[in-house]
């Protein structure tokens, strides 16, 4: 808080800085308001001693001056002698824990708040609700006052024994957590997935702590140390993998639907995500300064980002531009907007198809592995990391995404640089037998 001009010299400082000593945003706001009112009262009283100011702020008392002990200075003038008096001020206390509020009630409040603030996309809401349902089934719909470290530890330990895709797999769908645990699933949730569960639940209880429904968030800071480094969590595809995916007989049989023909090829030549590819319109493939480009849109919470990625010459040779020009609406009209967006159908098809092609040795060679492959190949080809970030839609070093939606903001040489980078993607003989679109 800034100190008034007439007191700066006497107090020897320009502003007051105090740590609020809390990680709770709600409590911090209240403490800050309290200190602001207290400081204002001190300034109005004319406090002019630094030590008295520090003491007042530390003990949370108001200091004011009264006229007393009149004395004369050497010039004969009489002045008011400051005498510090103290009166207690009500200190800031937390609200008592809401003993009767249970976890389900908290979830309802949290979800309603996110919806009111328009903070979640439908997919995000569904993911969170699925995780919260698991929380309630493991911990129980207990009062918030009954939560403890044991609650958080039990939740995390149980997650380690659960299988992936519990709500999707026919083997596990409809079973209770206890029934699944008794079956002892051979494959269990990855450390990455468990940490995602813990983060989402910790956010739920951060919400409760900020509103002072609980005095402590026991689910915070309980991640699992992941064995794999970030660049080892997914495998990139080898030349043999790519050749198997696009073998003439299998690929020709599968590619009777447009998204099956184009989605994997687009991913390999752009590093785009399945959702970005699935929601493309025909008009999202257009010329910018004479160069054909994709316009990819990514949505996260309330923010939408767009970027241009030039179309690789191999995609043009295979007839993608010709196909797109015949699509006034969706590039892949056969796709529906599912729970996970337009990319959900692409993911399901691709996972079935890659197993037909013999890519069954690891679950990590899913559709997202195509993105990893393209990014890795760009890096191996010597493309600058900032350009790779531009192409992939990652946040660059300065923390900003480059918006490239309107041609007026994009210089011709910018598109040309991106085009030169994209053309360095060369999969050689692995894609040589893919026939052009007719």
Q: Give the pLDDT score at 228.
A: 54
CB 338 within 8 A of CB 386: no
The pLDDT tens digits for 131-169 are 999 999 999 999 999 999 999 999 999 999 999 888 888
**Measuring CA to CA, which residue among 311, 323, 326 is closest to residue 437?**
323
| Burial of 278: CB neighbours in 10 Å, binned 0-12, 13-18, 19+ | buried
Give the three-state DSSP class for 162.
coil
CA distance 345 to 211: 40
Higher pLDDT, 314 or 23: 314
The pLDDT tens digits for 198-210 are 999 999 999 999 8
CA distance 338 to 291: 33
CB 306 within 8 A of CB 295: yes
Confidence band for 363, pLDDT divided at 50, 70 and 90: low
If one counts every other C-beta atom within 10 angstroms of the C-beta of residue 390, the result is 22
* Ranges 33-37, 51-55, 76-80, 214-218, most confident: 214-218
Task: Supply the pTM of this predicted model.
Answer: 0.58
The pLDDT tens digits for 174-189 are 899 999 999 999 999 9
CA distance 61 to 75: 35
Any idea which of 73-82, 159-168, 313-322, 373-382 has the lowest mean pLDDT? 73-82
Q: Give the pLDDT score at 437.
A: 79
- Residue 435's contacts (CB-CB under 8 Å, 6 or more residues apart) are 248, 252, 318
**Can you list the alpha helix ranges (DSSP code H) found in 70-121?**
103-116
Domains of the chain from N-terminus onward: 5-88 (no CATH), 103-227 (1.10.150), 232-431 (1.10.443.10)
Confidence band for 5, pLDDT divided at 50, 70 and 90: confident
């Amino acid at each position: 808080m800034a100190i008034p001009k007439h007191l700066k010299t006497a107090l020897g400082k320009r502003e007051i800085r105090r740590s609020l000593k809390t990680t709770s945003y709600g409590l911090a706001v209240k403490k800050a308001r309290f200190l602001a009112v207290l400081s204002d009262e001190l300034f109005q009283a004319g406090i002019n001693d630094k030590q008295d100011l520090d003491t007042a702020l530390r003990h949370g008392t108001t200091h004011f001056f009264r006229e007393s002990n009149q004395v004369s200075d050497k010039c004969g003038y009489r002045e008011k002698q400051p005498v510090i008096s103290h009166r207690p001020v009500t200190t800031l206390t937390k609200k008592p824990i809401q003993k009767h509020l249970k976890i389900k009630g908290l979830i309802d409040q949290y979800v309603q708040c996110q919806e009111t603030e328009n903070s979640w996309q439908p997919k995000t809401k569904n993911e969170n609700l699925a995780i919260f349902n698991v929380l309630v089934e493991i911990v129980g719909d207990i009062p918030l006052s009954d939560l403890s470290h044991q609650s958080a530890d039990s939740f995390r330990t149980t997650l380690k024994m659960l299988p992936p895709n519990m709500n999707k797999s026919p083997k596990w769908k409809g079973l209770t957590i206890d029934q699944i645990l008794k079956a002892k699933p051979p494959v269990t949730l990855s450390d990455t997935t468990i940490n995602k569960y813990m983060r989402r639940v910790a956010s739920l209880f951060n919400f409760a702590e900020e509103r002072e429904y609980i005095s402590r968030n026991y689910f915070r800071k309980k991640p699992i140390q992941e064995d794999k480094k970030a660049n080892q969590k997914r495998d990139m595809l080898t030349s043999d993998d790519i050749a198997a995916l696009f073998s003439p007989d299998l690929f020709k049989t599968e590619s009777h639907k447009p998204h099956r023909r184009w989605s994997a090829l687009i991913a390999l030549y752009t590093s785009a995500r399945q959702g970005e590819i699935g929601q493309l319109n025909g008009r999202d493939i257009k010329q910018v300064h004479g160069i054909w480009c994709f316009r990819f849109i990514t949505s996260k919470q309330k923010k939408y980002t767009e970027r241009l990625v030039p179309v690789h010459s191999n995609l043009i040779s295979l007839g993608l531009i010709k196909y797109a020009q015949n699509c006034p609406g969706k590039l892949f009209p056969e796709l529906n907007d599912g729970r996970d967006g337009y990319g959900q159908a692409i993911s399901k098809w691709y996972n079935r198809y890659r197993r037909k092609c013999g890519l069954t040795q690891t679950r990590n060679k899913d559709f997202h592995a195509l993105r990893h492959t393209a990014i890795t190949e760009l890096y191996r080809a010597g493309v600058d990391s900032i350009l790779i970030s531009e192409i992939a839609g990652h946040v660059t070093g300065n923390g900003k995404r480059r918006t490239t939606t309107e041609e007026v903001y994009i210089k011709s040489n910018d598109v040309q640089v991106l085009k030169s980078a994209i053309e360095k993607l060369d999969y050689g003989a692995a894609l040589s037998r893919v026939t052009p679109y007719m």
